Structure 1
Amino acid sequence: MGILANIFTWWNGATFGTWLGLRGKDAVGEDSLGNRYFQGGRDTAGNPRRWVIYNGSNDASRVPPEWFSWLHHQIEDVPSRALPPVRQWEQPPLANLTGTPAAWKPSGALDKGGQRHGAAGDYEAWTPGA
């Protein structure tokens, strides 16, 4: 099933067609998560085409900010050469946790097992024409 899944599905990684399309393109780098980045050819505006091949699930929030900037032509050269070094106070980016058990839930959320606060006495419902 591994080969068939690679041929027909896109959500678990790059398909076979994507790998064929990357032949002759330049591999320009890899990030700390193992995602690989490629460049080659030109788009209709004359900009170089850029790709990311995810290491794992295809989730755009797993692209670090510096490589996002490169993918979207905000910086021209690869991040290791175009950006200043990371400062010691900077924290690593986090993936989008929405929909996972690690997602943030407020204290009154029913999924968290909390109780919602009662309505305050100063609330008055709006009625049209009042």
Structure 2
Amino acid sequence: MLKKIFTWWDGATIGTLLFSKMNGARVGEDALGNVYYEGGRATDGRPRRWVIYAGSNDASRVPAEWHGWLHHSTDLTPDQQPAPRGWQKPALPNLTGTDAAYRPSGALERGGVRAAATGDYEAWSPTEP
């Protein structure tokens, strides 16, 4: 309980949750469980928008369609937007530092061996004219 009151890096604190419920209107929720709110006005006159993360506070956990809404690129929430295109992939959080992180063929985690150069590269040498 004390952790929920004082720590912000592992999710929203109780104060943030209460502020959101009292001062904002719940707009929607994404597939990851993040909840989006809108309420009040920012200094530029636009509506203030924010997200309460489900789990750790990591901005990479916001899907692209909600990112656009949060940053006022669109006023349409994802349920009001057209269906995603066939080439669009589902949003993933940043996987850096996890076992699912991308590791190219020359990465140390994959043995550190990369493909040999193709021979079309010639290194510059300062002794050549």
Shift in alpha-carbon separation, 1:113–1:72, aligned structure 2, 3 A: same
Q: CA deviation at 1:120?
A: 8.4
Shift in alpha-carbon separation, 1:125–1:99, aligned structure 2, 3 A: farther
Shift in alpha-carbon separation, 1:16–1:125, aligned structure 2, 3 A: farther
Root mean square deviation of aligned Cα = 2.4
Amino acid at match of 1:32: A
Shift in alpha-carbon separation, 1:9–1:118, aligned structure 2, 3 A: same
Q: Which runs of 5+ in 2 are unaligned?
A: none
Q: CA deviation at 1:123?
A: 5.2
1:39 maps to which residue? 38
State the distance in 1 between where 2:125 and 2:69 align. 49
State the distance in 2 between where 1:120 and 1:84 align. 46
1:108 maps to which residue? 106
Q: Which stretch of the first structure deviates more once superposed, 87-96 or 12-21? A: 87-96
3-state secondary structure, aligned to 1:46: coil
Shift in alpha-carbon separation, 1:124–1:4, aligned structure 2, 3 A: same
% identical equivalent positions: 56
Shift in alpha-carbon separation, 1:109–1:75, aligned structure 2, 3 A: same
TM-score norm. by structure 2 comes to 0.82
Amino acid at match of 2:59: A
Q: Which runs of 5+ in 1 are unaligned?
A: none
TM-score norm. by structure 1 comes to 0.82
State the distance in 2 between where 1:123 and 1:24 align. 64
Aligned pairs, number: 126
